[in-house]
Structure 1
Amino acid sequence: MKHIFQKGNDQSKPTLLLLHGTGGTEQDLLPLAKEVDKDANVLSVRGNVSENGMPRFFKRLAEGVFDEEDLIARTKELNEFLDEAAEENDFDRNNIIAIGYSNGANIAASLLFHYQDSLKSAILHHPMVPRRGIDLPDLAGKNVFIGAGTNDPICPAQESEDLKSLLENAGASVELHWEKNGHQLAYSEVEAASKWYQNI
């Protein structure tokens, strides 16, 4: 997978996995990583799927309707890529914290839904529930920040509430933070995620 790896100043810190939104690239969230933890490793990945020339992490059938088969396959692909990247770049595979926005947040949530040890924790900006009606792995000890919009036209507020419940029922500790900026990622939301990160 096309990606950028930046070695941090402190190898005891987590590696921040950056996952962009639809139409983004591996450059998009690099400023966010600096806000969250300037000393951590950064692994920023570009989605392998193209939708009318726009990079994404998995296919969709329509807005808000995921291609589940592709989602499952792409989640497996990303999880295996993380195994390889950890070995290649010599960072701790068990200490990865994802920071995803929109489509990137959805694939990060899908990692948690499908692979118990894929992520240590996650910051999910405007995610949806990746899949319903499945048993989640035991997520005890995982911390998740969900940034959501009360007036998000793409991701209804109920999606955020449902995702919080599903993750908590699997044992994760979840903070749900509300903004009023629609689907946009506002600086105040990044600040809230950064404060949350400092406390976990």
Structure 2
Amino acid sequence: MTTTSYEALVKAPEAGRPLVFAFHGTGGDEHQFFELAGHLVPKAGVVSPRGDVSEMGAARFFRRTGEGVYDMDDLARARDKMIAFVIAHRTDHPASPVYAFGYSNGANILASVFLQRPDLFDRVALLHPLVTWAPVTTPQMKDRRVLVTAGQRDPITPWPMSEELIAWFKFEGADVR
């Protein structure tokens, strides 16, 4: 895989500044958070890929079979493809810390990548993720900075699932908020 594995908007970081990955939600695209990422971390580089799956015309990063029901084989395909994509961009900017945030489906692909390879990111923000699988313990999670946003009345992600994810990050030693 290369830096061109996904249709993406890309801006290189200024010297010593972070590289920020921005993952859109279902129906979004590479434009959804590109400018926001640049405003959140001034002078940062930004990589904002477009999901490569279409669900009735809405871009996503992996398939699902129903609301909150993931095609786990396709999630594994997407996770592995995204890991290679992130590694390729990291290789292009070895001196830059790497941050990432994703919303909804973007949070889910980011969670899948981060839970598999926490070493790829210095900080992550999962904005309303729905993690339906059991994360695997990893010592690499220790001291990783993680933000999880969720709603107690979210109709898609039941609050107890968000609490479980937050508790898991804490148990693994992440600096979670």
TM-score, normalised by the number of residues in structure 2: 0.89
Q: CA deviation at 1:8?
A: 3.0
In the alignment, structure 1 residue 70 sits paired with structure 2 residue 70:
no
1:89-123 CA-to-partner distances (Å, cap 9, x unmatched) read x3138722111000000111111211132222201
Residue of structure 1 in register with 2:12 after alignment: 7
Amino acid at match of 1:51: E
Q: CA deviation at 1:6?
A: 0.9
What CA distance in whole angstroms lies between the structure 2 residues aligned with 1:30 and 1:23?
A: 15
Residue of structure 2 in register with 1:137 after alignment: 138
Q: CA deviation at 1:15?
A: 0.7
1:152–1:26 Cα change, 3 Å: same
Q: State whether residues 9 and 34 of structure 2, in contact with CA within 8 Å, keep that contact through their aligned partners in structure 1.
A: no
TM alignment of 1:158-197, pairs within 5 A: 158-175=160-177
The gaps in structure 2 that reach 5 residues or longer are 1-5
Q: In percent, how many aligned pairs have the same letter?
A: 35
* Root-mean-square deviation over aligned CA pairs: 1.7
Residue of structure 2 in register with 1:126 after alignment: 128
TM-score, normalised by the number of residues in structure 1: 0.79
Amino acid at match of 1:2: E
1:130–1:85 Cα change, 3 Å: farther
Q: State whether residues 128 and 163 of structure 1, in contact with CA within 8 Å, keep that contact through their aligned partners in structure 2.
A: no
Q: CA deviation at 1:58?
A: 0.9
Q: State whether residues 5 and 43 of structure 1, in contact with CA within 8 Å, keep that contact through their aligned partners in structure 2.
A: yes
1:122-160 CA-to-partner distances (Å, cap 9, x unmatched) read 01111112522x423220121101111222111221221
